[in-house]
Structure 1
């Protein structure tokens, strides 16, 4: 299966799904999802797997057991290549177009503590600052959920307090609706951006390397 880009039908599908997130719509348009969304994602991630590893293509169904919002289907499609627990590269298609990213998406307990220790360290912390500055200069957006207060055990005047507040650290770039997303060339963009994010992934891997495996996976 060759990757030829994300068809316009994929974006139209999610536009319509946002307006009619029902089982009846899904069942009558499932062939569009399979052909225009799932197949391109499978082809793209298969193409990138030799360099980055196998991807998980997320299920389109929402887990609504404990959610107030009971709409049954996700209004985006994502794929994730893991470099560790909740750590790795991401690509997403939604009504807002295509987006790529990488970083850690969840870190609790010992893993978050290890990452904060590495940020606090006067060698590895500044190295992360420089790395993020280079990515920002290259056009990436630095984000992720953060505490509004100072993390316990750290001073509000810490030189890297903004980084220490991160509960997630995600760096990404939107491609939006650029014509390239409908062509095979978008695979090159994803590959190049994932390569650019590899130093960040490596930094995070090293930060949690000493955390016992049973504590990393929570």
Structure 2
């Protein structure tokens, strides 16, 4: 299947799911999800895999074991692509009733990765390099986000010239678009590809300076 866009029926499906997040609604409308959400998303990432790496579509079911919100289904469909060999940094795309979200970076870093990240931000060469990436992304309309401390981490000057970057425990950037007619067209491919290409320097910086975690699997919480 070639990607031709996200049909309106997919967004309508999510509008209904937001209003009735129940097994009965899901069962009655599963065919719409498969045809108008999951299939187009799979076709989209299949087209982008050669440039951005292997893809994984997220399951539509929520993990409610430790959540206060017990609604069983996600109200969006996301997919992630991981560059092979990078160890950290990924590409993300999501469709929902709110429109399209496209992002890249790292959504979670282990303690050893956070430590390497901070050392690199503090470095006189790699720190300005990341600041330049952040400035270029902001100029392109892509703001950096992620989990951040309220204060500069211990061991670094409170007035550090890159204090804002030092406070990050995860870092990613992206764009969002509300529903418009182009969502049901191949223009989606170009918007996703253009955004991800703009985020290549961020993921490359993370690969160069942070890399994969060395923590044993049972300690990656």
TM-score range, shorter chain: over 0.9
Partner of 1:54: 54
Secondary structure class of the residue paired with 2:191:
helix
**More deviation in 44-53 or 149-158?**
149-158
**2:168 paired with 1:166:** yes
Question: What are the Cα deviations for residues 131-180 of structure 1, in whole angstroms up to 9, with x where unaligned?
Answer: 11111111112211211122122221111111111122110011221322
Written as runs of structure 1 = structure 2, the 5 A alignment for 1:1-218 is: 1-83=1-83, 84=86, 87-209=89-211, 212=214, 214=216, 218=220
Provide the C-alpha distance between the structure 2 equivalents of 1:210 and 1:53, rounded to a whole number of angstroms: 16
Secondary structure class of the residue paired with 2:199:
helix
Provide the C-alpha distance between the structure 1 equivalents of 2:77 and 2:145, rounded to a whole number of angstroms: 20
Provide the C-alpha distance between the structure 2 equivalents of 1:59 and 1:211, rounded to a whole number of angstroms: 25
Question: What are the Cα deviations for residues 101-151 of structure 1, in whole angstroms up to 9, with x where unaligned?
Answer: 001100121011111111111111111111111111111122112111221
Flag structure 2 segments of 5+ consecutive residues without an equivalent.
none
Task: Kindly indicate whether the alpha-carbon contact (under 8 Å) linking 1:86 and 1:106 is maintained by their aligned counterparts in 2.
Answer: no
- Superposition TM-score, scaled by structure 2 size: 0.93
Flag structure 1 segments of 5+ consecutive residues without an equivalent.
none
Query: How many residues are paired up?
Result: 217
What is the Cα deviation at residue 214 of structure 1? Answer: 4.4
Secondary structure class of the residue paired with 2:104:
strand
What is the Cα deviation at residue 85 of structure 1? Answer: 5.3
Provide the C-alpha distance between the structure 2 equivalents of 1:131 and 1:95, rounded to a whole number of angstroms: 31
Secondary structure class of the residue paired with 1:115:
helix
Task: Kindly indicate whether the alpha-carbon contact (under 8 Å) linking 1:118 and 1:124 is maintained by their aligned counterparts in 2.
Answer: yes
- Superposition TM-score, scaled by structure 1 size: 0.94
Alpha-carbon RMSD: 1.7
Moved >4 Å (runs of 4+): none
What is the Cα deviation at residue 86 of structure 1? Answer: 5.9
**More deviation in 168-177 or 83-92?**
83-92
